[in-house]
Amino acid sequence: MIVAERKPLAEILKMVQGCKRILVLACKGCVTVCSAGGEREAEILASLVRLGLQKEGTNAEVNTASLVRQCDKEYIDSLDQYKGQYDAILSTACGVGVNFIANLRPTEHVYPALNTTFFGGSAEQGIWKEMCAGCGHCVLHFTGGLCPVARCAKSLMNGPCGGSVNGRCEINAETDCVWQMIYDRMGRLERQQELTASAPIRDWSTAGHGGPRKRVREDLTV
């Protein structure tokens, strides 16, 4: 899922300064699962925005709504029901959702309530970890399913750097060295020999270095 976290309240309040009618728009997708921008978090944020504005001596009507997803046109179209009712939409979706609204609602103000952080999973309740960088050229079949692009601080492709100490990363001692994990796991799978092969120089154009990416499925377009 896409993992995100709420922006500092001061930053959010500055965005909506002067707005008299604000719609805090939740997303029921990834940000609900990572407890950053679902209906519950939108209600909390709406309350905090009201309190923040009250403290500054201003008042605004701050309501909440939610969409199944903010990354599909058909759901964004349902915002028609709020047309003219709000000065600003404060989206608690990831950056994709904010972009979708901005693209599809050319005359409406939309602001991001979250910082979109990474693709990850819930390691345990309340803790999410980055697992994928969306680089567009998956190498997990070579590395026992553990991603060196996302989980190595240097995205190294041919084993650990000299900073790997006792299985930990030199950039952050709390982070496991993914290359140590790969080595250990490949050993358990009796595939360690495969790691002696050199990974070729990567083509990073699939990772967004060639500009924004787009995928077309001719069989699905109509």
Partner 1 sequence: MNFTPDIRLFTCHYASQQSCAEGGTVLRGLNFPANITLTRLVCTGRLEETDLLKAFEDGADGVYVVGCPTDSCHNVKGSQRAAKRVASVQKALAELDVEPERLRMYHLERGLHPEFIAAGEEMDALIRRLGPSPFCRKAA
Does 8 bind partner 1 (CB under 8 A)? Our answer is: yes
Give the strand order in the sheet containing 61-67. 61-67, 21-27, 88-91, 110-112
Does 17 bind partner 1 (CB under 8 A)? Our answer is: no
106 φ/ψ sector (left φ>0, alpha ψ -120 to 50, else beta): alpha
Does 137 bind partner 1 (CB under 8 A)? Our answer is: no
Structure tokens at 162: 């000299």
C-beta closer to partner 1: residue 43 or 130 = 43
Rounded distance between C-alpha atoms, residue 46 and residue 219, angstroms: 42
145 φ/ψ sector (left φ>0, alpha ψ -120 to 50, else beta): left
Q: Shortest approach of partner 1 to residue 85 CB, angstroms?
A: 20
Q: Shortest approach of partner 1 to residue 178 CB, angstroms?
A: 31
Does 65 bind partner 1 (CB under 8 A)? Our answer is: no
Does 9 bind partner 1 (CB under 8 A)? Our answer is: yes
Q: Which stretch binds partner 1 (CB under 8 A): 38-46, 157-165, 182-190, 194-202?
A: 38-46
Rounded distance between C-alpha atoms, residue 160 and residue 166, angstroms: 12
Rounded distance between C-alpha atoms, residue 45 and residue 39, angstroms: 10
Does 59 bind partner 1 (CB under 8 A)? Our answer is: yes
Does 54 bind partner 1 (CB under 8 A)? Our answer is: yes
Does 197 bind partner 1 (CB under 8 A)? Our answer is: no
Does 125 bind partner 1 (CB under 8 A)? Our answer is: no
